[in-house]
Amino acid sequence: MTRVLVTGARGFVGRHAVPALRARGIEVHAAGRTPLPDDVAEGVTFHQCDFFDGAAVAALVQRVEPTHLLHLAWDATPGLFWTSTENLRWVAASLGLYLAFAASGGRRAVVAGSCAEYDWSHSELDEARTPLVPRTLYGEAKRALHTLLERAAAQSGVELAWGRIFFLYGPHEAEGRLVSDVTRALLAGREARCSEGSQQRDFMHVADAGRAFAALVDSDVTGPVNVASGECVPVRSIVAALGELTGGAGLIRYGTANRPDEPPRLSASVERLRQRTGFESMYDLRSGLAQTVDWWRAQVS
């Protein structure tokens, strides 16, 4: 039996990864400071743990004896995480978690990275060819953690896969992000201020991201893997679709929240994810946005 310890199980990606793991017949143990919500907790063994307490983390891993690790936990507060020194604390906590996992005989670790590790002067972001030149402390912290874990895993014989997350949307998305902010504003009858929208991005429904990480856990692929949809579209087309789906197109104000330093295009190569794990998206962009709007509409009704 595969036994996986999941961190960040109540987070944006984690709450979708947990049921995807269980659907694969994997025994799931989740750890964190706060118990899981009811819609995630079914069939999961929860362990309360502070990841910044090294002794507590070591004791937890020794008690659970996981064969696999899915590490998703990180501080991703919108607008703040790019430059926060909390990134440094999470690098240290992640290294401690890995050391405990390897010492307990763990076989395979899957860790969440970010597309922010790449050099964004390149429009096509590929795991094998695109240089890693992070622009932010967050991206640098993720890149550094991957480098350290990759070296350590090679020495200890632990399989390591590194899932670089691109741009996600979906139910439970935090405030301060594009799809959640525009959707909530339009459903409430408020103006939605956004950029002109010509920049192109790869957006993926968060449920597909959770399924992608479950597929990585249940595979033998190692190294960096882009977690993305493979569909790169102008941000304006996403906002326009939200306007149509909410009935609030007339409330969209393009060009009122421009960011001049944004790269014009960030497109993800997804061949490794699809070919090495057999992953297929459940949502295309239109159906994913429709499901997301329906979820937000239910929250405010």
pLDDT in tens, the chain (301 residues): 899 999 999 999 999 999 999 999 999 999 999 999 999 999 999 999 999 999 999 999 999 999 999 999 999 999 899 999 999 999 999 999 999 999 999 999 999 999 999 999 999 999 999 999 999 999 999 999 999 999 999 999 999 999 999 999 999 999 999 999 999 999 999 999 999 999 999 999 999 999 999 999 999 999 999 999 999 999 999 999 999 999 999 999 999 876 778 899 999 999 999 999 999 999 999 999 999 999 999 998 7
Cα separation values, 158 from 55, 63, 98, 107, 188, Å: 22, 19, 10, 5, 49
Predicted local confidence at residue 144, as pLDDT = 98
d(CA 195, CA 127): 29
Q: Structurally, what CATH architecture does the domain formed by 173-201+232-266+283-300 represent?
A: Alpha-Beta Complex (3.90)
Torsion over CA: 252, 257, 263, 264 (sign): positive
The pTM assigned to this predicted structure is: 0.97
Tell me if 65 sits within 8 A of 80, measured CB to CB.
no
Domain residue extents for the chain: 3-168+203-229+270-277, 173-201+232-266+283-300
Residues contacting 205, CB < 8 A, separation 6+: 168, 169, 170, 229, 281, 282, 283, 288, 291, 292
Structure tokens at 30: 């989740």
Both tokens of residue 192?
Answer: 């939605």
The Cα–Cα gap between 105 and 102 comes to: 5
> 3-168+203-229+270-277 maps to which CATH number?
3.40.50.720
Classify 233 as helix, strand or coil: strand
CA-based max dimension of the chain:
58
The string over 267-288, giving b where at least 16 C-beta atoms fall within 10 Å of a residue's C-beta and e elsewhere, is bbbbebbeebbebebebebeeb
The CA distance from 263 to 260, in Å, is 9
Distances (CA, A) of 167 to 36, 45, 182, 227, 253: 24, 30, 15, 9, 22
pLDDT of residue 216: 98
